[in-house]
Amino acid sequence: MTHRPEEPEYDLESRRVLLAAAVTIAAALVAVLAVRHVAVRVLHPSPAFQPLDPAPPVFDTVLCTLVAIFVFVRVAFYPDPVRIWRRVATLVLILSFIPDVLLASSHSMGGGWPEAFALMAMHAIVWAICITLLPALAITKHPRELKPPDRPLSIL
């Protein structure tokens, strides 16, 4: 009879989740604003291209990161929460590229593929921050306690 090691129990503490949420939002904002700054300097987008104005990336980052945090907290109670969280987040990242592709292909607001790639880079960096920081800062692992046997162990 082979002994399988028990999976660790994952635990969320409200203080850790709040700290993880604050750090994740702050890191995402700093990263998005850095990508936006570089994109504006390099691409010189049309003034009509509003997605690269300062306000939309800030608003979208805060709102979408908050939604991600709520989804993360819900997923954290499933077995193997980190793997599920990363799969859900990756699917959402892929779906988040759809508006950028539509924006680039339609050339609406004076934007094209370079501007769309800048927006996609913002999405990807927020995704990377969320899938890394949230589990690392919010979840604690505890080894599962083994139940004592129902009867005493004996070789007799």
Q: Where are the domains of the chain?
A: 9-142
Instruction: Please write down the long-range contacts of 10-13, taking CB distance under 8 Å and 24 or more positions apart.
Output: 10/76, 10/81, 10/82, 10/139, 10/140, 10/141, 10/142, 11/139, 11/140, 11/141, 11/142, 12/73, 12/76, 12/77, 12/138, 12/139, 12/140, 13/140
Residue 77's pLDDT band, with cuts at 50, 70 and 90, is: confident
Q: What is the pLDDT of residues 44-75, one digit of tens each?
A: 999 999 999 999 999 999 999 999 999 999 99
Tokens 């503490």 — which residue? Answer: 13
Tokens 């987040």 — which residue? Answer: 89
Q: Is the pLDDT of residue 148 over 50?
A: yes
Q: What is the pLDDT of residues 2-50, one digit of tens each?
A: 444 455 566 778 889 999 999 999 999 999 999 999 999 999 999 999 9
- At 10 the three-state DSSP class reads strand
